[in-house]
Structure 1
């Protein structure tokens, strides 16, 4: 029944690919992010799926699909019925049905069957992203269907994939959890955005997720896998204030996949520093015993407010652009000297700030 969710690249399936809800009634959310970039258009599409308090009957129980589209335009559809959400715990596979003529328990459908019977909703796996949503107030809509060929998960190619937050993320100590599901992949298919149809083959694709019962107080993020003259390069960087048992800590990381190799800069193996303005400038440096990386993301665009799960439900609490500029430099260290092994630039970087208290620059301590 679910042949398509079997990732053909078994080692690329990362930890935490499955659904995390344990069936309890504790406060809980899980969110998924899929993106495809069309470099020749200078545009990207980001699809954000979320479910909150899936046990149902709670003040914030429900799901949503949000899309950040061309020129950072925004579309959102909520799905209040948690009974029409489904997800698998063993592999990456999820969906939410809104308007449909089917009277069956929601589950994965073959793409042609889904397109015929589900007129509001989505389904997504490691190798497929498909759906249709519209805004009844404006009539604006998006329909999409594309296949995904994973290239990089989170770790070295053809190796066991890593948990983004390390082994501790398997315990309910750090919340929320965060996992890059696919640092880089190739997407082929189509997206219909308000009547304009985008068709693409082997376009850069990306996916990640987060989950838990607590919510980050503040965070920043930069992500790009479409660089000028560097087709085999993917960057994800971010940081935030998160709950660790009974205290809050500020952490950040930078991860690079380049020519089959994974360069990881995380708190337990590197020194990571950052200086993030309230909007417009993301600066990070990270250094371990072998390499150092420096990145600068900038934008003159205003960005678009997006909703994210909070203690008070899904609310506008972050700002994004998918048209940021990014300069990146990776150096190999030897005898205290840094030798440049990569310099790269992009005009289609995803940049985000979220949470509260963005009145001043946020600098690492």
Structure 2
């Protein structure tokens, strides 16, 4: 049954029966081996309240922080009901590869990348994805999924007539779906640390539900084969969250650990985000920020401390005022 299958596999297309006030998008961040070039590609679909829909591919290029929004008719979108396999026009997106063909656009991109050494977000029956039991809660404004914590890249992309070799670079995939992005949120992510296969994500947002709202958050640190998960549903708490003049500082605690994340917001580009299915909201995103991460146990012993580079970072709205 498709409903059960998609619920247990968040990476699959979730919107098979959604044709009004709905969006869904997958976020690919791709970084070259020398870390001099990175790009984010976001394929997706969007339907307004009247049921008028379109498919899209968004792009943000770190070199110039140029962004592009490539729009397609809704019939250019296709998907597999059995696996993560999304097609938009002549482009195809999967968990283990992507093919992009925007060669006839004003800002052309084309090429093929394959992914290996893939580490997916670990699943459990009551935690099919990063949202844990909230995955099963209906009427949420927005759902979030982490597809891969990291993957090794192979292949090239031709971006505006410049061929970029991504071989032995690093990638990351996540996704969102629902009606709208929250009124405010903070999101950061990096999987470029001094030790390979280390990955971190933190997201906090105002979450409306059934006429009320609450502040919820999700975070994980994957290091040396161990996943440290911090979230509203695990009982973890945000002890401190400051954002001022491009500097962010977060402290999260649970019964066993303390996770501190600090970062500096770098240059950004403007992307489109959904509001009631319409891709009309404009947000700023950096994909070149720097973060510092420290994990301690309850005795204060440092279990992990390192700097994360090429970090994705968004601070949208006024989270601090709302949290107070």
| Equivalent residue number for residue 167 of structure 1 | 133
Q: Distance in 2 between matches of 1:208 and 1:45?
A: 14
| Equivalent residue number for residue 213 of structure 2 | 248
Q: 2:107 aligns with which of 140, 151, 155?
A: 140
| Equivalent residue number for residue 58 of structure 1 | 51
Q: Distance in 2 between matches of 1:86 and 1:276?
A: 42
Render the CA deviation track for 1:243-263: whole Å, top value 9, x for unaligned. Answer: 222212211122011111100
- CA deviation after TM superposition for structure 1 residue 133, in Å: 2.2
| Equivalent residue number for residue 85 of structure 2 | 93
Matched, 1:306 2:271: yes
- CA deviation after TM superposition for structure 1 residue 278, in Å: 6.6
- CA deviation after TM superposition for structure 1 residue 291, in Å: 1.4
Q: Distance in 2 between matches of 1:223 and 1:236?
A: 4
Contact 1:266 1:272 in 2 (8 A): no
Q: Distance in 2 between matches of 1:147 and 1:362?
A: 43
Rate the CA distance shift 1:24–1:38 in 2: closer, same or farther, 3 A.
Answer: closer
Q: Alpha carbon RMSD of aligned pairs, Å?
A: 2.6
Rate the CA distance shift 1:80–1:141 in 2: closer, same or farther, 3 A.
Answer: closer
Matched, 1:189 2:155: yes
What secondary structure is seen at the aligned counterpart in 2 of 1:79? strand
Contact 2:180 2:277 in 1 (8 A): no
Listed as ranges, the gaps of 5+ residues in structure 2 are: 1-7
Contact 1:37 1:226 in 2 (8 A): no
Contact 2:77 2:86 in 1 (8 A): yes
| Equivalent residue number for residue 121 of structure 2 | 154
- CA deviation after TM superposition for structure 1 residue 293, in Å: 0.8
Q: 1:78 aligns with which of 70, 75, 79?
A: 70
Instruction: Give the TM-score normalised by structure 2.
Output: 0.88
Contact 2:131 2:218 in 1 (8 A): no
Contact 2:27 2:175 in 1 (8 A): yes
Render the CA deviation track for 1:195-222: whole Å, top value 9, x for unaligned. Answer: 2211132321100111113441111110
Query: Whose Rg is larger?
Result: 1
| Equivalent residue number for residue 114 of structure 1 | none
Question: Following superposition of structure 1 onto structure 2, how do residues 1-365 of structure 1 map, counting pairs within 5 Å?
Answer: 15-53=9-47, 58-59=51-52, 61-97=53-89, 118=90, 122-133=91-102, 136=105, 139-155=106-122, 162-227=128-193, 229-269=194-234, 270-277=236-243, 280-301=246-267, 303-311=268-276, 313-333=278-298, 337-354=299-316, 356=317, 358=318, 361=320, 364-365=323-324
- CA deviation after TM superposition for structure 1 residue 240, in Å: 0.9
Structure 1's consecutive aligned runs of 4 or more residues displaced over 6 angstroms after TM superposition are none
Render the CA deviation track for 1:124-180: whole Å, top value 9, x for unaligned. Answer: 0111111122685xx322223111125322238xx8774111123123243211010
Listed as ranges, the gaps of 5+ residues in structure 1 are: 1-13, 98-117
Contact 1:142 1:192 in 2 (8 A): yes
Q: Distance in 2 between matches of 1:23 and 1:39?
A: 40
Rate the CA distance shift 1:231–1:36 in 2: closer, same or farther, 3 A.
Answer: same
Contact 2:179 2:275 in 1 (8 A): no
